[in-house]
Amino acid sequence: MSFELPKLNYAYDALEPHFDARTMEIHHSKHHQGYTNNLNKAIAGTDAENKTIEEILANISKYDVAVKNNGGGYYNHNLFWENISPDGGGKPEGKLLEAIEKNFGSFDEFKALFEKAAATQFGSGWAWLIKNGDVLRVVSTSNQECPLMDTAKDKGDILLTIDVWEHSYYLKFQNRRPEYVKTFWEVVDWKKVAERFNS
């Protein structure tokens, strides 16, 4: 069994003017494809070949670092493409909004915390909104680590994520990561986040 690059549910230019087509194309067809290919190489001949990506991540400490880097890269990007959409933006509603308000005070306070986590993650990594029972938390991880890994400091079910590697914003935003993070809100698919929250 081998992992495949997922198709996007939208065209590379569908998130314009927020996320530019060139970045989307390179990010998906080069970077994510690279993680996918290298994950398949890294698991070849190991017991990970017969496991789901979630099973691999949950036991990532058992595997070679190449499985961690590329398995995280493969999975994190799958989540990232899913939680953005040309129909995104706005704000969450219903039970998800209530949970955000209960845990962070208000939607704006949550956004500020998430922006800070994304902007201050040193070097490459990801920021996350995760859930442990009724508790929602904003956390960040380095490189391709993810909250499903047994090595993660902050573990939990993933509701929302943003890639803050430079390859996700440099062509359009150069070194202005905070501006990229603010733009992210224009494309967040809150329906998808709510699906994850309710499942």
Q: Which residues bind Mn ion (CB under 5 A)?
A: 163, 165, 168
CA dihedral 99, 102, 103, 108 (to 10 degrees): 90
Nearer to Mn ion, 23 or 85 (CB): 23
Nearer to Mn ion, 19 or 165 (CB): 165
CA 114/CA 116 separation, integer angstroms? 5
Q: Which of 96, 102, 103 is nearest to 160 (CA)?
A: 96
Nearer to Mn ion, 115 or 163 (CB): 163
CA dihedral 2, 124, 168, 61 (to 10 degrees): 20
* Least distance to Mn ion, CB of residue 150, Å: 22
Which residues on neighbouring strands pair with residue 163, listed in sequence order? 126
* Least distance to Mn ion, CB of residue 114, Å: 17
Nearer to Mn ion, 100 or 121 (CB): 121
* Least distance to Mn ion, CB of residue 28, Å: 9
Nearer to Mn ion, 110 or 165 (CB): 165
Q: What would the DSSP string read from start to end of 62-113?
A: GS-HHHHHHHHHHHHHHHHHHTB-TT--S---HHHHHHHHHHHSSHHHHHHH
* Least distance to Mn ion, CB of residue 124, Å: 9
* Least distance to Mn ion, CB of residue 165, Å: 5
The residue of the chain with the least Cβ separation from Mn ion equals 163
Q: Are 154 and 119 a contacting pair, CB within 8 Å?
A: no
Return the structure tokens found at 172: 């359009």
